[in-house]
Structure 1
Amino acid sequence: MQLELDRFDHAILRVLAADGRVSATELARRIGLTKSPTQARMKRLEAAGVITGYGARLDPIRMGLAHVAFVEVKLSDTRESALQAFNRAVLAVPEVEECHMIASRFDYLLKVRTADIQDYRRVLGEKLSTLPFVASTSTHVAMESVKEARG
């Protein structure tokens, strides 16, 4: 069941998405409530799974991970057991930043982040191509990131 969110809940989520380290007092001030109801709302949002965690946003380029590739993956079998096997295996590949099942001429779209093209080639050959039921892949290399998700 989806939790009903009001304007204060949305305000809390906007502030936390921009600054997950904001204090409860400062958060309350920014959304126009006192600290106690703000904290109660945060706990409700956490308990309902709307807030799934808190973390730091990292700069992948400064971490030496400037190469981004989007990989179309076509499976040889799309029965439920094959999909489950692929899903479990892809979760274990740290270079895969995102994995989406797609309704298209291919089955999955992966966002893969590596240091450079040579590192990507290694990940493709040693990890992605060996995932269960992978029949073929097609790679699209990103030249520039114009907008990426931010919480």
Structure 2
Amino acid sequence: MIELDDTDRAILRHLATDARLSAGAIGKRIGLSQPQTWRRINRLTEIGVIRTRRLVLDRDKLGFGVTVFLGVKLATKGRVSLEDFERAVSAIPEVQTVEHVLGLYDYRLRVVARDIPDFERILRRRIMTLPGAGEVEANVLLSEERLEGPIG
């Protein structure tokens, strides 16, 4: 585990809230100069604490009003490799995340669709035709709240 001090944690909290903040803006908020803040952000990136800064799109405004979490159990483990399934499912643009999990299902997928009929089309024509796809359970997202990460 990497040791972080209170200043590192403060920087991470600000970046987690808005990754577009400049080092100067963060520095003003936490009482550091722009160069000091930039050096710390650079160090946090170099040691892998900050892996990337991402663009988060508003799915509703882009016309994707339905989000569904799918639990997928592979039908033929052994005949189809996990890599084949992961490669094929990752090529579907509506699949936002692919998580290999332990439990009732082998994979957990986050899928976006314009509406329920669009989701049904994606499920039938794309996901259920994937190599090794077997049992599937769908959970439609009703609402979502962003929680702060474990940055003490």
What is the TM-score normalised by the length of structure 1?
A: 0.86
Where 2:70 maps in the other structure, the secondary structure is strand
Matched, 1:14 2:42: no
CA deviation string 1:8-54 (max 9, x = no partner):
11111110111122122111111222222211111111122222222
Task: Tell me how far 1:81 sits from its aligned partner.
Answer: 6.5
Partner SS for 2:81:
helix
The aligned counterpart of 1:73 is 72
Q: 1:60 to 1:26 in 2, by over 3 A?
A: same
Deviations 1:99-136 (A, max 9, x none): 22222222111111110011111111121112221122
Shift of residue 55 of structure 1? 3.3
Q: Match of 2:144?
A: 146
* Structure 2: runs of 5 or more not aligned: none
Q: Percent identity?
A: 38
Distance in 2 between residues matched to 1:60 and 1:124, nearest whole Å: 19
- Would the alpha carbon gap of residues 12 and 110 (structure 1) be closer, same or farther in structure 2, given more than 3 Å must change? same
Letter of the structure 2 residue corresponding to residue 147 of structure 1: E
**Shift, 1:80, TM fit:** 10
TM-score (norm 2): 0.86
CA drift at 1:150: 7.4
Deviation of 1:79 (Å): 4.4
Q: Distance in 2 between matches of 1:66 and 1:150?
A: 24
The corresponding residue for 1:43 is: 42
Total equivalences in the alignment: 149
Residue identity matched to 2:72? V
What's the secondary structure of 1:131's corresponding residue?
Answer: coil
Query: Secondary structure in 1 aligned to 2:128?
Result: helix
Deviations 1:76-103 (A, max 9, x none): 2334971121122222111111222222
Unaligned runs of 5+ in 1: none
> Does 2:22 align with 1:23?
yes
The amino acid across from 1:69 in the alignment is V
Q: Partner letter of residue 33 of structure 2?
A: T
For the residues of structure 1 that align with 2:146 and 2:95, how far apart are their CA atoms? 15
Structure 1 149/120 Cα, relative in aligned 2: closer, same or farther at 3 Å? farther
